[in-house]
Structure 1
Amino acid sequence: MEYVGRVPAPPLDRFIDDIYCLTGVPRHRRMNVPPMPSAHLFVNLGGPVRLWDSDPSVPPAVFTDGWFMGVWTRRFLFEYPTPVWLVGVHFKPWGMSPFVDMPATELRDRWVPVDAVWQRSVDRIRNQVGAAAAPAESLRVVEEELRSRLAEAPSRGLALVQHTGGRLETSYGAVQVGALADAAGVSGNHLATQFTSHVGVTPKRVARIYRFARLILSVDALRPVDWSDLAQTAGYFDRAHFSREFKDFTGHTPTEFLALRRRFPAERGFPPDAGPMPAD
């Protein structure tokens, strides 16, 4: 597959890591996706996409057009169509808030059709993306759509979440949440309330996801892996807690994960391979 992406121009870059176009034939149809520090918008112009929650009580979903996903706190399974033609947006954990008029908690650990969030818009967006002559033009279409939907005035508390969330991002969750609250001059409860409102989860949960992302992205399967060293560098000082969280987030023990990564090495410079693992 080919991945073409770019960071959008200001002010969208405060809320979005990148907008991208993914096309071609996937190396692996099913991908096991761990919690990562982002929310998503997908516009699908290919065949049906299938999604499974790791929670067996949640029914699977099939999307033919487009969907939003908030921050996920557990893994899910994603099945590509063949061929793939997706245009997507990687929002920062708090980044979806100024573009949608619904509580972030309603998008946490969920996939929601685009038309349930942006009323009667997905067909128009898909037609515009489908008419684009090149991936770069597809990205421009989606960027302009986002720019038109960016709230003129930020909602209450978003600036606080953006500032403190940015510190969690740059530190990979290493900054104590209490220190963030003290530095911002607010109580821990107030900070947690604002994160829940704009992200859907507490700052402690966001810190956990950033910490895990740092760990998983630092694994070099081509070399010997010292899990104790990687875990400590990422901020895990309790080996039992690290092992338990790793299994919860990936469905594998560290040893199993490493064997799978060596069997299916990540393609360098290909972001969809950074974190997700083949499930087939």
Structure 2
Amino acid sequence: MGDRRNATPVAAATSGGTGTTGGTAGILRPEEFARHVALRRLPPAPDLAPWVENHWVLRWDLPDGVTYPSQVLPHPTCNLTVERGVRRVGAPPVAVLLTGPVTRRFDVETTGRGWVWGVRFRPGGLAALAGLDASRLAERTLAAADLLPDAVVTALDALHDTGAPLEDDRARVEAALRPLAHGPDPDHELVLALVAEMLADRTLVRVSQVTERHGLSTRRLQRLFARYVGVGPKWVLARHRMHDVVAALDAGDDRSLADLAAAHGWYDQAHFTRDFSALVGVTPARYRAGR
């Protein structure tokens, strides 16, 4: 994906909206984020909803010399973005980009003035819509022109922050994507159902529970997630729990860390601390103290 320390505000918008990936979890210290960056979300048109979870728009206009470092946890989704006024280190120098699922925290430095229009796909949505293998995008940001038809990319590259109603821009984006739409994909529908269940049922903490419940082999489940989501089912299960924990800490949950870990499916505090530190970048104790 390139240097996540300079990932731009793109990652920040991947953490909201409705659908199978859930809620507004993901932005660390969301109140502080909202003081520096304006975020708007719009639902997709019904005919694109099988693939698109939401549209999101970021705007920021910071004074000279002011830099806001936001930190964002990932979701098991891909994003298509049109980015103005920003260039990502390690990403192609073009405006229309595809960013795959990543498994580590984004560190985002926002400075100056900029605007991003993003399409957040449902888990597996980009792979199903465009006939891609999501594993090609895992941990990466690519020029959309490398994977999408020229007509789609050209239409999106004409998009700018003109001050037009967001609904008008959404219509332009969806008109560009609509030619890719096709009939149902049973495998993608299965992936969506599985991810939705992982989100809704917090008693699911092991891949074996998912395979047993649905009569799937572990190999079949892993292949589905590699093809459509780009990350494995074990990571998706852990990510849901971690977002819950971070949201609880941001909300001021004052339980002991051992109690918090147990409530969210960890068997011991040491394991919880390792997982939290690997994804968030600091220990849960330091994160809580930083509030």
CA contact (8 A) 1:129 1:141 kept: no
Mean CA deviation greater in 225-234 or 209-218: 225-234
Between the aligned partners of 2:276 and 2:136, the Cα distance in structure 1 is: 26
CA contact (8 A) 1:132 1:138 kept: no
Q: Of residues 56, 60, 65 in structure 2, which corresponds to 1:24?
A: 60
Structure 1 partner of 2:243: 213
Q: Does 1:34 align with 2:73?
A: yes
The 3-state SS of whatever aligns with 1:242 is: helix
Change (3 A) 1:123 1:207: same
Once the two structures are TM-superposed, the CA of residue 48 in structure 1 deviates from its matched residue by 2.1
CA contact (8 A) 1:168 1:174 kept: yes
* C-alpha RMSD of the superposition: 2.6
Q: Does 1:187 align with 2:217?
A: yes
Q: Does 1:149 align with 2:180?
A: yes
Structure 2 partner of 1:50: 88
Change (3 A) 1:223 1:169: closer
Change (3 A) 1:92 1:129: same
Between the aligned partners of 1:251 and 1:32, the Cα distance in structure 2 is: 10
Between the aligned partners of 2:251 and 2:285, the Cα distance in structure 1 is: 11
The 3-state SS of whatever aligns with 2:46 is: coil
Q: Give the gaps of 5 or more residues in structure 2.
A: 1-36
Between the aligned partners of 2:54 and 2:211, the Cα distance in structure 1 is: 28
CA contact (8 A) 2:76 2:231 kept: no
Between the aligned partners of 1:230 and 1:36, the Cα distance in structure 2 is: 22
Structure 2 partner of 1:85: 115
Between the aligned partners of 1:11 and 1:180, the Cα distance in structure 2 is: 29
The AA in structure 1 aligned to 2:81 is F
Change (3 A) 1:142 1:161: same
Q: Of residues 158, 161, 184 in structure 2, which corresponds to 1:127?
A: 158
What does the per-residue CA deviation read over 1:177-232, in whole Å, with 9 as the maximum and x for residues that have no partner? 32322333322221111111111122112111122122212223556453233322
The AA in structure 2 aligned to 1:5 is R
The TM-score, its normalising length taken from structure 2, stands at 0.75
The 3-state SS of whatever aligns with 1:108 is: coil
The AA in structure 2 aligned to 1:48 is V
Once the two structures are TM-superposed, the CA of residue 72 in structure 1 deviates from its matched residue by 1.0
The 3-state SS of whatever aligns with 2:158 is: helix
Structure 1 partner of 2:287: 257
Between the aligned partners of 2:159 and 2:91, the Cα distance in structure 1 is: 25
What does the per-residue CA deviation read over 1:229-279, in whole Å, with 9 as the maximum and x for residues that have no partner? 33222222221111111111111111222233x2xxxxxxxxxxxxxxxxx
Q: Of residues 105, 114, 124 in structure 2, which corresponds to 1:94?
A: 124
CA contact (8 A) 2:99 2:140 kept: yes
Mean CA deviation greater in 194-203 or 88-97: 88-97
CA contact (8 A) 2:129 2:181 kept: yes
Identity between Structure 1 and Structure 2 (%): 26
What does the per-residue CA deviation read over 1:136-168, in whole Å, with 9 as the maximum and x for residues that have no partner? 2222222333333223342x6222212212211
Mean CA deviation greater in 97-106 or 29-38: 29-38
Question: What number of residue pairs does the alignment pair up?
Answer: 251
